[in-house]
Amino acid sequence: MLPLLFLAPGAMAAPACLSILNRVADSYIRRGVIDGFGYGEATLYSGLEAVLAVNHNDTMYDWYKNKTDNGIITDDGEIRDWDLTFYSLDEYRIGVNLLYWYDQTGDEKYKTAADTIRHQMDRHPRNDLGGLWHRAPIYKNQQWLDGIFMADTFYALWTLTFEPDNTTAWDDIILQFDLIEERTRDHTTNLLVHGYDSGKEAIWADPVTGASPLVWGRAVGWYYMALTEVIQLFPKSHEGHARLVEYFVTLSRGLKRAAEVDGGWWLVMSEPYPGKPRNYIESSAHAMFSFGLLHGLRTGLLQEDEFGAAADKSYRDLVGMFIKPNDDGTLDFIETVQVGSLNSNATYEYYVGVPRVINDNRGGGALLLAASEWELRIR
Protein backbone atom coordinates (compact mmCIF):
# COMPACT_ATOMS: atom_id res chain seq x y z
CA MET A 1 0.00 0.00 0.00
CA LEU A 2 1.44 3.35 -1.02
CA PRO A 3 1.55 6.12 1.60
CA LEU A 4 -1.27 8.60 1.27
CA LEU A 5 0.17 11.78 -0.16
CA PHE A 6 -2.61 13.82 1.34
CA LEU A 7 -5.09 13.06 4.05
CA ALA A 8 -7.92 15.33 4.71
CA PRO A 9 -11.07 17.43 4.62
CA GLY A 10 -12.04 20.89 5.25
CA ALA A 11 -13.80 23.61 7.04
CA MET A 12 -15.37 26.95 6.33
CA ALA A 13 -16.49 29.85 8.24
CA ALA A 14 -18.49 32.82 8.17
CA PRO A 15 -16.30 33.76 10.23
CA ALA A 16 -16.18 30.48 12.16
CA CYS A 17 -15.10 27.31 10.36
CA LEU A 18 -17.88 25.00 9.33
CA SER A 19 -16.82 22.10 7.14
CA ILE A 20 -16.56 23.11 3.49
CA LEU A 21 -14.54 20.20 2.13
CA ASN A 22 -17.32 18.21 0.53
CA ARG A 23 -19.11 21.37 -0.65
CA VAL A 24 -16.02 22.60 -2.48
CA ALA A 25 -15.42 19.19 -4.08
CA ASP A 26 -19.06 18.90 -5.08
CA SER A 27 -18.99 22.41 -6.55
CA TYR A 28 -16.10 21.57 -8.86
CA ILE A 29 -17.72 18.30 -9.94
CA ARG A 30 -21.09 19.97 -10.61
CA ARG A 31 -19.46 22.66 -12.73
CA GLY A 32 -17.61 20.00 -14.73
CA VAL A 33 -13.94 19.19 -15.25
CA ILE A 34 -12.48 18.90 -18.73
CA ASP A 35 -11.04 15.57 -19.83
CA GLY A 36 -7.30 15.28 -20.17
CA PHE A 37 -4.00 15.29 -18.33
CA GLY A 38 -3.43 19.01 -17.77
CA TYR A 39 -1.63 19.92 -14.57
CA GLY A 40 -4.60 21.97 -13.41
CA GLU A 41 -6.85 18.95 -13.56
CA ALA A 42 -4.12 16.80 -12.01
CA THR A 43 -3.89 19.21 -9.07
CA LEU A 44 -7.65 19.14 -8.60
CA TYR A 45 -7.59 15.34 -8.67
CA SER A 46 -4.95 15.31 -5.93
CA GLY A 47 -7.36 17.41 -3.89
CA LEU A 48 -10.17 14.92 -4.54
CA GLU A 49 -7.90 12.10 -3.42
CA ALA A 50 -7.52 13.96 -0.14
CA VAL A 51 -11.29 14.21 0.21
CA LEU A 52 -11.70 10.50 -0.44
CA ALA A 53 -8.97 9.62 2.05
CA VAL A 54 -10.86 11.27 4.89
CA ASN A 55 -14.53 11.28 3.87
CA HIS A 56 -14.95 8.42 1.42
CA ASN A 57 -17.86 8.92 -0.92
CA ASP A 58 -18.73 6.22 -3.45
CA THR A 59 -20.31 8.67 -5.88
CA MET A 60 -17.24 10.92 -5.90
CA TYR A 61 -14.94 7.91 -6.14
CA ASP A 62 -16.84 6.53 -9.14
CA TRP A 63 -16.94 9.94 -10.82
CA TYR A 64 -13.19 10.39 -10.47
CA LYS A 65 -12.42 6.87 -11.69
CA ASN A 66 -14.68 7.37 -14.68
CA LYS A 67 -12.90 10.63 -15.54
CA THR A 68 -9.58 8.77 -15.47
CA ASP A 69 -10.72 5.72 -17.41
CA ASN A 70 -12.65 7.58 -20.08
CA GLY A 71 -10.94 10.94 -20.20
CA ILE A 72 -7.25 10.20 -19.65
CA ILE A 73 -6.27 6.60 -20.51
CA THR A 74 -7.51 3.73 -22.64
CA ASP A 75 -8.23 0.19 -21.49
CA ASP A 76 -4.73 -0.74 -22.67
CA GLY A 77 -3.05 1.93 -20.55
CA GLU A 78 -2.32 4.40 -23.33
CA ILE A 79 -2.57 8.06 -22.34
CA ARG A 80 -5.01 9.67 -24.73
CA ASP A 81 -3.35 12.26 -27.01
CA TRP A 82 0.03 11.82 -25.31
CA ASP A 83 2.97 13.04 -27.41
CA LEU A 84 6.14 11.00 -26.88
CA THR A 85 8.22 13.80 -28.41
CA PHE A 86 6.84 16.66 -26.29
CA TYR A 87 9.04 17.23 -23.27
CA SER A 88 7.16 19.40 -20.79
CA LEU A 89 7.28 18.92 -17.02
CA ASP A 90 3.73 20.29 -16.73
CA GLU A 91 2.34 17.16 -18.36
CA TYR A 92 4.09 14.77 -15.96
CA ARG A 93 2.02 15.67 -12.90
CA ILE A 94 -0.86 13.41 -13.98
CA GLY A 95 1.42 10.48 -13.21
CA VAL A 96 0.75 11.02 -9.50
CA ASN A 97 -2.96 10.47 -10.11
CA LEU A 98 -2.36 7.40 -12.28
CA LEU A 99 -0.35 5.85 -9.46
CA TYR A 100 -3.20 6.64 -7.07
CA TRP A 101 -5.47 4.43 -9.17
CA TYR A 102 -2.82 1.74 -9.47
CA ASP A 103 -2.63 1.69 -5.68
CA GLN A 104 -6.41 1.62 -5.36
CA THR A 105 -7.10 -1.12 -7.91
CA GLY A 106 -3.88 -2.94 -8.81
CA ASP A 107 -4.92 -2.65 -12.46
CA GLU A 108 -1.82 -2.81 -14.67
CA LYS A 109 -3.24 -0.28 -17.13
CA TYR A 110 -2.48 2.49 -14.65
CA LYS A 111 1.08 1.28 -14.24
CA THR A 112 1.48 1.10 -18.01
CA ALA A 113 0.35 4.70 -18.33
CA ALA A 114 2.58 5.87 -15.48
CA ASP A 115 5.54 4.02 -16.98
CA THR A 116 5.06 5.96 -20.21
CA ILE A 117 5.67 9.19 -18.30
CA ARG A 118 8.54 7.78 -16.27
CA HIS A 119 10.38 6.55 -19.38
CA GLN A 120 9.81 9.91 -21.05
CA MET A 121 11.55 11.55 -18.10
CA ASP A 122 14.64 9.46 -18.86
CA ARG A 123 14.80 11.16 -22.27
CA HIS A 124 13.93 14.63 -21.01
CA PRO A 125 16.52 17.32 -21.83
CA ARG A 126 18.66 18.67 -18.98
CA ASN A 127 20.86 21.68 -18.47
CA ASP A 128 24.58 21.41 -17.84
CA LEU A 129 23.97 21.13 -14.08
CA GLY A 130 21.64 18.15 -14.45
CA GLY A 131 18.41 20.08 -13.99
CA LEU A 132 15.40 19.06 -16.05
CA TRP A 133 14.38 21.76 -18.54
CA HIS A 134 10.93 23.06 -17.78
CA ARG A 135 9.98 22.47 -21.40
CA ALA A 136 11.93 21.72 -24.57
CA PRO A 137 12.94 23.52 -26.64
CA ILE A 138 11.24 26.76 -25.62
CA TYR A 139 12.64 26.88 -22.07
CA LYS A 140 16.15 25.69 -22.81
CA ASN A 141 18.30 25.28 -19.67
CA GLN A 142 15.57 26.67 -17.42
CA GLN A 143 14.35 25.21 -14.14
CA TRP A 144 11.25 26.69 -12.54
CA LEU A 145 9.80 26.18 -9.09
CA ASP A 146 6.62 25.01 -10.84
CA GLY A 147 8.42 22.10 -12.48
CA ILE A 148 9.51 20.61 -9.17
CA PHE A 149 5.84 20.08 -8.30
CA MET A 150 4.95 18.90 -11.78
CA ALA A 151 7.68 16.26 -12.13
CA ASP A 152 9.46 15.39 -8.92
CA THR A 153 6.58 14.21 -6.76
CA PHE A 154 5.75 11.75 -9.54
CA TYR A 155 9.42 10.80 -9.90
CA ALA A 156 9.63 10.11 -6.15
CA LEU A 157 6.32 8.24 -5.96
CA TRP A 158 7.15 6.05 -8.96
CA THR A 159 10.59 5.27 -7.51
CA LEU A 160 9.19 4.42 -4.08
CA THR A 161 6.56 2.17 -5.65
CA PHE A 162 8.67 0.24 -8.13
CA GLU A 163 12.37 0.84 -7.41
CA PRO A 164 12.71 1.88 -3.77
CA ASP A 165 16.38 0.86 -3.61
CA ASN A 166 17.35 2.85 -6.70
CA THR A 167 19.87 5.19 -5.11
CA THR A 168 20.65 6.79 -8.46
CA ALA A 169 17.05 7.89 -8.81
CA TRP A 170 16.89 9.29 -5.29
CA ASP A 171 20.16 11.16 -5.91
CA ASP A 172 18.67 12.64 -9.06
CA ILE A 173 15.48 13.72 -7.29
CA ILE A 174 17.35 15.53 -4.53
CA LEU A 175 19.57 17.13 -7.18
CA GLN A 176 16.54 18.88 -8.69
CA PHE A 177 15.71 20.43 -5.31
CA ASP A 178 19.33 21.28 -4.55
CA LEU A 179 19.73 23.15 -7.83
CA ILE A 180 16.58 25.16 -7.26
CA GLU A 181 17.74 26.03 -3.76
CA GLU A 182 21.22 27.01 -4.91
CA ARG A 183 20.05 29.19 -7.79
CA THR A 184 16.75 30.75 -6.64
CA ARG A 185 16.72 31.05 -2.82
CA ASP A 186 16.93 34.54 -1.31
CA HIS A 187 18.61 33.93 2.04
CA THR A 188 17.46 37.28 3.40
CA THR A 189 13.74 36.58 3.04
CA ASN A 190 14.00 32.75 2.77
CA LEU A 191 11.71 32.95 -0.27
CA LEU A 192 12.60 31.81 -3.80
CA VAL A 193 12.42 33.58 -7.14
CA HIS A 194 10.48 31.94 -9.97
CA GLY A 195 13.34 30.09 -11.69
CA TYR A 196 16.75 30.26 -13.29
CA ASP A 197 18.43 29.83 -16.67
CA SER A 198 21.79 28.06 -16.38
CA GLY A 199 22.74 29.41 -19.80
CA LYS A 200 21.89 32.98 -18.73
CA GLU A 201 20.25 33.60 -22.13
CA ALA A 202 16.68 34.50 -21.08
CA ILE A 203 15.81 38.17 -21.12
CA TRP A 204 15.17 38.04 -17.39
CA ALA A 205 18.23 36.00 -16.36
CA ASP A 206 20.68 37.56 -13.94
CA PRO A 207 24.03 37.75 -15.76
CA VAL A 208 25.86 36.14 -12.83
CA THR A 209 23.40 33.64 -11.32
CA GLY A 210 20.89 33.15 -14.14
CA ALA A 211 18.06 33.72 -11.65
CA SER A 212 14.80 35.42 -12.51
CA PRO A 213 14.20 38.70 -10.66
CA LEU A 214 10.98 38.32 -8.66
CA VAL A 215 9.23 36.11 -6.13
CA TRP A 216 5.89 35.09 -7.66
CA GLY A 217 3.57 33.65 -5.03
CA ARG A 218 2.14 30.68 -6.87
CA ALA A 219 5.56 29.47 -8.02
CA VAL A 220 6.60 29.44 -4.36
CA GLY A 221 3.36 27.58 -3.62
CA TRP A 222 4.11 24.88 -6.18
CA TYR A 223 7.54 24.37 -4.66
CA TYR A 224 6.22 24.36 -1.10
CA MET A 225 3.67 21.68 -1.96
CA ALA A 226 6.35 19.63 -3.69
CA LEU A 227 8.50 19.73 -0.57
CA THR A 228 5.47 18.73 1.50
CA GLU A 229 4.82 15.74 -0.75
CA VAL A 230 8.34 14.50 -1.46
CA ILE A 231 9.45 14.57 2.19
CA GLN A 232 6.78 11.92 2.81
CA LEU A 233 8.16 9.72 0.03
CA PHE A 234 11.91 10.24 0.27
CA PRO A 235 13.91 7.61 2.22
CA LYS A 236 14.93 8.92 5.63
CA SER A 237 18.15 6.92 5.37
CA HIS A 238 19.26 9.07 2.44
CA GLU A 239 21.19 12.22 3.38
CA GLY A 240 18.97 14.23 1.07
CA HIS A 241 15.97 13.75 3.34
CA ALA A 242 17.38 16.04 6.01
CA ARG A 243 18.06 18.70 3.39
CA LEU A 244 14.47 18.53 2.15
CA VAL A 245 13.24 19.05 5.71
CA GLU A 246 15.61 21.98 6.13
CA TYR A 247 14.37 23.53 2.89
CA PHE A 248 10.77 23.11 4.04
CA VAL A 249 11.25 24.59 7.51
CA THR A 250 13.31 27.50 6.18
CA LEU A 251 10.67 28.34 3.59
CA SER A 252 7.94 28.03 6.22
CA ARG A 253 9.69 30.70 8.28
CA GLY A 254 9.96 32.93 5.25
CA LEU A 255 6.26 32.52 4.52
CA LYS A 256 5.31 33.24 8.10
CA ARG A 257 7.23 36.53 7.97
CA ALA A 258 5.81 37.45 4.55
CA ALA A 259 2.14 37.04 5.53
CA GLU A 260 0.14 40.22 5.76
CA VAL A 261 -1.23 41.21 9.18
CA ASP A 262 -4.70 41.52 7.64
CA GLY A 263 -4.34 38.11 5.99
CA GLY A 264 -2.84 36.49 2.92
CA TRP A 265 0.19 36.88 0.68
CA TRP A 266 0.81 39.24 -2.22
CA LEU A 267 0.91 38.00 -5.79
CA VAL A 268 4.39 39.49 -6.19
CA MET A 269 6.15 38.98 -2.88
CA SER A 270 9.46 40.72 -3.61
CA GLU A 271 10.18 44.09 -2.04
CA PRO A 272 9.20 46.83 -2.71
CA TYR A 273 6.06 45.48 -4.39
CA PRO A 274 3.78 44.37 -1.52
CA GLY A 275 1.07 47.03 -1.33
CA LYS A 276 1.97 48.60 -4.66
CA PRO A 277 -0.76 49.47 -7.20
CA ARG A 278 -2.19 46.45 -9.07
CA ASN A 279 -0.57 43.94 -6.71
CA TYR A 280 -3.15 41.92 -4.76
CA ILE A 281 -3.60 39.13 -2.23
CA GLU A 282 -3.80 35.99 -4.37
CA SER A 283 -5.84 32.91 -3.44
CA SER A 284 -4.11 29.88 -4.98
CA ALA A 285 -0.74 30.57 -3.37
CA HIS A 286 -2.55 31.26 -0.10
CA ALA A 287 -4.18 27.82 -0.30
CA MET A 288 -0.84 26.15 -1.08
CA PHE A 289 0.85 27.87 1.85
CA SER A 290 -2.01 26.95 4.19
CA PHE A 291 -1.78 23.33 3.12
CA GLY A 292 1.97 23.17 3.72
CA LEU A 293 1.80 24.87 7.11
CA LEU A 294 -1.04 22.65 8.36
CA HIS A 295 0.54 19.49 7.00
CA GLY A 296 3.89 20.42 8.52
CA LEU A 297 2.25 20.77 11.94
CA ARG A 298 0.39 17.48 11.67
CA THR A 299 3.47 15.51 10.66
CA GLY A 300 5.84 17.14 13.14
CA LEU A 301 7.96 18.95 10.57
CA LEU A 302 6.86 22.25 12.13
CA GLN A 303 6.48 23.05 15.81
CA GLU A 304 3.15 24.15 17.24
CA ASP A 305 4.57 26.95 19.35
CA GLU A 306 6.25 28.54 16.33
CA PHE A 307 3.71 27.92 13.57
CA GLY A 308 0.37 26.92 15.10
CA ALA A 309 -1.21 30.36 15.31
CA ALA A 310 0.06 31.35 11.87
CA ALA A 311 -1.33 28.19 10.27
CA ASP A 312 -4.73 28.60 11.92
CA LYS A 313 -4.97 32.23 10.84
CA SER A 314 -3.88 31.32 7.33
CA TYR A 315 -6.67 28.81 6.91
CA ARG A 316 -9.37 30.98 8.45
CA ASP A 317 -8.31 33.86 6.23
CA LEU A 318 -8.32 31.56 3.19
CA VAL A 319 -11.94 30.65 3.78
CA GLY A 320 -13.07 34.09 4.84
CA MET A 321 -11.43 35.97 1.97
CA PHE A 322 -11.81 33.75 -1.07
CA ILE A 323 -14.83 31.43 -0.76
CA LYS A 324 -18.15 32.85 -1.90
CA PRO A 325 -21.50 30.99 -1.78
CA ASN A 326 -23.92 30.88 -4.71
CA ASP A 327 -27.70 30.59 -4.69
CA ASP A 328 -27.51 27.06 -6.12
CA GLY A 329 -25.49 25.84 -3.13
CA THR A 330 -22.12 25.76 -4.89
CA LEU A 331 -19.10 27.66 -3.63
CA ASP A 332 -16.84 29.85 -5.76
CA PHE A 333 -13.10 30.23 -5.19
CA ILE A 334 -12.08 33.71 -6.28
CA GLU A 335 -9.03 35.92 -6.87
CA THR A 336 -6.83 33.24 -8.48
CA VAL A 337 -4.18 34.35 -10.94
CA GLN A 338 -4.75 32.63 -14.27
CA VAL A 339 -1.14 31.76 -15.05
CA GLY A 340 2.44 32.90 -14.60
CA SER A 341 5.27 32.09 -16.96
CA LEU A 342 8.92 32.79 -17.51
CA ASN A 343 8.05 32.92 -21.20
CA SER A 344 7.88 36.65 -20.50
CA ASN A 345 10.10 39.47 -19.33
CA ALA A 346 9.30 38.43 -15.72
CA THR A 347 8.73 42.03 -14.65
CA TYR A 348 6.31 43.30 -12.04
CA GLU A 349 4.13 44.67 -14.84
CA TYR A 350 3.94 41.23 -16.43
CA TYR A 351 2.86 39.39 -13.29
CA VAL A 352 0.22 41.92 -12.21
CA GLY A 353 -1.09 42.12 -15.78
CA VAL A 354 -2.16 38.47 -15.86
CA PRO A 355 -5.96 38.13 -15.47
CA ARG A 356 -7.64 36.78 -12.35
CA VAL A 357 -10.08 33.89 -12.67
CA ILE A 358 -12.75 32.14 -10.61
CA ASN A 359 -12.81 28.42 -9.79
CA ASP A 360 -9.47 27.60 -11.35
CA ASN A 361 -8.62 23.90 -10.98
CA ARG A 362 -5.12 24.65 -9.69
CA GLY A 363 -6.50 26.82 -6.95
CA GLY A 364 -9.32 24.39 -6.24
CA GLY A 365 -6.98 21.44 -5.79
CA ALA A 366 -4.83 23.41 -3.36
CA LEU A 367 -7.94 24.56 -1.49
CA LEU A 368 -9.11 20.96 -1.05
CA LEU A 369 -5.70 19.94 0.24
CA ALA A 370 -5.67 22.77 2.76
CA ALA A 371 -9.24 22.07 3.83
CA SER A 372 -8.45 18.40 4.31
CA GLU A 373 -5.56 19.21 6.63
CA TRP A 374 -7.79 21.58 8.56
CA GLU A 375 -10.40 18.86 9.00
CA LEU A 376 -7.79 16.61 10.59
CA ARG A 377 -6.58 19.44 12.80
CA ILE A 378 -9.98 20.29 14.29
CA ARG A 379 -11.20 16.73 14.81
Distance CA 102, CA 76 (A): 14
Structural contact between residues 8 and 328, judged by C-beta atoms closer than 8 angstroms? no
Q: What does pTM read for this prediction?
A: 0.95
CATH class of 21-378: mainly alpha
Q: What string of pLDDT tens digits covers the 379 residues of the chain?
A: 443 343 332 333 332 334 799 999 999 999 999 999 999 999 999 999 999 999 999 999 999 999 999 999 999 999 999 999 999 999 999 999 999 999 999 999 999 999 999 999 999 999 999 999 999 999 999 999 999 999 999 999 999 999 999 999 999 999 999 999 999 999 999 999 999 999 999 999 999 999 999 999 999 999 999 999 999 999 999 999 999 999 999 999 999 999 999 999 999 999 999 999 999 999 999 999 999 999 999 999 999 999 999 999 999 999 999 999 999 999 999 999 999 999 999 999 999 999 999 999 999 999 999 999 999 999 8
Q: 372 with 51: CB under 8 angstroms? A: yes
Q: Domain spans of the chain?
A: 21-378
